[in-house]
Chain A
Amino acid sequence: MTIDERTRPAPASPPRGSGSATAKRILPLPVTGQEFVLIGVIVVLWVLLGIFTPAFLTANSIQPLLVSVAPIALIGVGMTFIIITAGIDVSVGGAIMLCAVVVAKTMVSVDIPLIGAVALAVALGLVLGLVNGVLIAYGRVAAIIITFGTANLFQFFALRVFGSSTVNGIPSTLEVFGRGEAGRTLGVPNSFAIMIVIAAVAWWYLRHAAGGRHLFAIGGNTNAARLVGIKVQPRVMLAYGLTGALVGLGACFILASGTATLDQSVGAGKELQVIAAVVIGGTSILGGRGSVIGTVLGAILVQTVTSGVTQLGWPSQLANLFVGIFIIIAVGTDLLRERARRKA
Chain B
Amino acid sequence: MDAIQQNLLEQVAGLHEIPAGAYNIRANGQMAGRNTTANIDIVTKEDKAGIDIRIKPGTKSESVHIPVVLSQSGLKESVYNDFYVGEDADVTIIAGCGIHNGGSQTSEHSGIHRFFVERNARVRYVEKHYGSGDGSGERVMNPTTEIHLAEGAYLEMETVQIKGIDSTRRVTKAEVGRGASLVIKEKIMTHGRQSAETDFTVNMNGEDSGVSLVSRSVAKEHSRQMFRSRIIGNASCHGHSECDAIIMDEANVSAIPELTANDIDASLIHEAAIGKIAGEQLMKLMTLGLTEKEAEEQIVNGFLK
A and B are interacting partners: no
Interface residues of A, Cβ cutoff 8 Å to B: none
